[in-house]
Each structure stands twice: as structure tokens, then as C-alpha cells.
Chain A
Amino acid sequence: MQDRQLRARDMLRGDLEGEELERYVEERVVMTNLDKMLNWGRANSIFPLTFGLACCAIEAPISLVTARYDIARFGAEALRASPRQADMIILSGRVSIKMAPVVRRLYDQMLEPKWSMAMGACSSSAGMFSNYAVVQGADKFMPVDIYVPGCPPRPEAVLYGFTKLQRKIMGNPDPGWRRRYNAEGTEEWARGGPASTPSAVEAEAYERARELIGA
């Protein structure tokens, strides 16, 4: 360790030359491209949304940040209380039909790139709630990136799903969910939703851009 530091000092002083300098560079520098570096950074600094839906919330945001399971090991210990600052939403529990628009709104308010995890049987497929009040799977109304089965899943399972999600983030250079899910053109302002009136010009520009890229 001290040796490394001494050599770093020598390098800064300009004392390293020739073969020694070559070896120094080989040891210290990793070559990659910007996309990979960016995705590596994204995958390892996810801010989950402080958000609970039902009983799974005891497992997800609460026990995952405790010392026993410690999601900080994967760089996601900073839970954010605002969707504007969050990267990932964990759907921890059943989504009732009254809650679905609220969840969707939270997801829409999150900034890209964003990811979502359906945690437990209920948000994946409604679980045992096959009835009139519960949405039969959260992917009916919003994109879901990873499903973690269980009722509730063990914290280890959620962490495993989270590392899978990290792998997905690192492997996918395009983080926009609309492109991932073939849903371009469904933006609220592009399909004439409530936000379309003030930005009709933008919508027109968007349409022209889509024509140009041949979408």
C-alpha cells in the first residue's frame, strides 16, 4: 500500500520513466467508453423512492436499509422522499384500483432514467387478491423492469432482484423506458393529454422528429 502511494508520488513528481511508467499506467488506468461508465455509475448509485404500498413495505424499504441486510452494499441506501429525486420505485404490495393512478403519477414524475421493481406476488400478478378491488399486476398500468416473487419475498430475494436490475442497467445502454417498452409517442403531451395544451409546439416538433428518424 505504501509502495503504491510512493509510486503515485513519484509519478506526480515526474520521476517515473520508461518501463516503470508503463507499468504504472497499466495498473492504474481502465479503458472503457462513456456509456459503460455512465451505466456503471447509474447501477451503483440508485436512489429508491421512499414508498410503501402494503405489507411488503415492511420488508422493502424498512428492513433492506437495516444493518442486517444493508442495501448500502449495492449503493442504494439513500431513499428519497420525492419522486423527482428517485431512480427506482419499489411496488411493495398490492395496488388497489384506487391507488393505481397515484402510483402511475409517481412513476411519471420520476426523472429518466428510472426503473421499477414489482416486489412480491401482489404487485406482480395480484397474488391472492383475484377480486374487483386490486389491479391484476402492476404492469397493467406502468412498465415494470423486474419482478421479485414471494409473499413477501425474503430481503435476500429483493437484494438478488436488485442486483439483477443492476445487471440490466449496466447491460442496457439505453435507459429510456419508452424505447425499452416500445412506447414512444405515449407521452402525455404527445398524445394530447392534460399537459398537451401549453406545449403544442413541442408536440409538433416531436412529431416531425419522429418522421425524420422514420419511426
Chain B
Amino acid sequence: VPDAPGLELIRGEIEGDHPGAVLDTSFDRGQAVLVVDPEQVLAVLGWLRDAPGQEYTFLSSLHVADYLPATPRFGVHYELLNRDRVERLRVKAMLSDPTAGLPEIDSCVSLFPTAEFQEREAYDFFGIVFRGHPDLTRILLPEDYVGWPQRRDFPVGGEPVTFTYNERAYG
């Protein structure tokens, strides 16, 4: 993991090549995070992968979190790993929920082919549209499923369980 000053150095270098791309940084509990502009996420990821001295060549995970009620609401997380130095860096792009349609972000399959299935999973559960993805369809849920079940405002589903305790306590 780059330490906190190292993270600021990375931010400065990205600022030189892609001005305005990094919005914020955070270094918490030994984890370095770059919060980036969703429109420039591909530029940042490409820079981190290819720039000499960085070479975060391995995308170990791509996932989404729903931060409702915070705005912007969705965080797309890219967990990068440099396998020579065993350094991890998280890139986070915050997406707001549009009033109509689904939130969109550029697909990083062209940079990291492993992202193909992970972006499909993110689309499946959160309804994030990855622009330029070769085959953005549901991957785990049935093809005809309606809704984005891992969003926080999605009902849990299932059936209420009636325990005798609940009946005694609440009638």
C-alpha cells in the first residue's frame, strides 16, 4: 500500500497528466483510496496501469456499493494491485442516481479483461450501465428478473416469518 504521502504524490502526478481527474484522496486504516471523476475513470486507471513506477497491472476486484442516502449515491470501486511490490490501491468513482434511466460509467474491459464478468455482476445487482461493455446482460439472476436487488431501496423480499414469540408480543 502506498502510504499517505505516497498517495498524495500519486495524486499530484495524475493531476499533471489528467487535470481534475482526482477529486479526493483518503487514507484510512491502511487503505489508500483515490476518489476520481467518473468521466475520467478510464484515464486514471490506464495511467495507474501503464505509468512507469506505478504499474498497477492487476484489477483484483471491481464492485459497487450503494451509499444511500448519501449523494452521489453509488460508488464503483476498483481494487488495483501491483504484484511486484504487493501494493494495493483503491480507485473509487461516485455516481449519482439520475432521475430517469440508470447511472452510467465507462467500461474498463479494454484495460482489464477480467472486468467483463464483474461489470456484468455490478449491472445485475445495482443497475450500473458500463458504456462500451461487450455484453452487458444479467449474469447471476434470471434474464427476465425485474429490478436491481442489491440497491438499498430494494425490498428484501421473501416471506415474513411468524414466530410464536412475535405473535405473543405483537398480536
Contact = CB atoms under 8 A, between A and B. Distances in A.
Interface of A: 97-98, 126, 129-134, 136
Interface in B139-160: 140-142, 145, 147, 149, 154-160
A130 B156 contact: yes
B161 interface: yes
A105 to B, nearest CB: 14
Contacts of B145: 97
A130 B161 CA distance: 8
B159 A132 contact: no
Contacts of B154: 132
A60 to B, nearest CB: 24
B149 A132 contact: yes
B159 A133 contact: no
A133 B154 CA distance: 12
A130 B157 contact: yes
A136 B159 contact: yes
Given A130-B158, A131-B156, A132-B155, 6 more contacts: A97-B142, A97-B145, A98-B140, A132-B149, A132-B154, A132-B158
Contact of B142 (A98, A129, A130): A98
B157 A131 contact: yes
A133 B141 contact: yes
B59 to A, nearest CB: 26
B141 A136 contact: no
A-B residue pairs, 6 tightest by C-beta? A130-B158, A132-B157, A132-B149, A98-B142, A136-B159, A131-B158
A165 B147 CA distance: 40
Interface string B104-143: 0000000000000000000000000000000000001110
Nearest to B157: A132
B141 A130 contact: no
A133 B149 contact: yes
Nearest to B150: A132
Contacts of B159: 126, 130, 136
30 contacts: A97-B141, A97-B142, A97-B145, A98-B140, A98-B141, A98-B142, A126-B158, A126-B159, A129-B158, A130-B156, A130-B157, A130-B158, A130-B159, A130-B160, A131-B156, A131-B157, A131-B158, A132-B147, A132-B149, A132-B154, A132-B155, A132-B156, A132-B157, A132-B158, A133-B141, A133-B149, A133-B157, A134-B158, A136-B158, A136-B159
B113 to A, nearest CB: 25
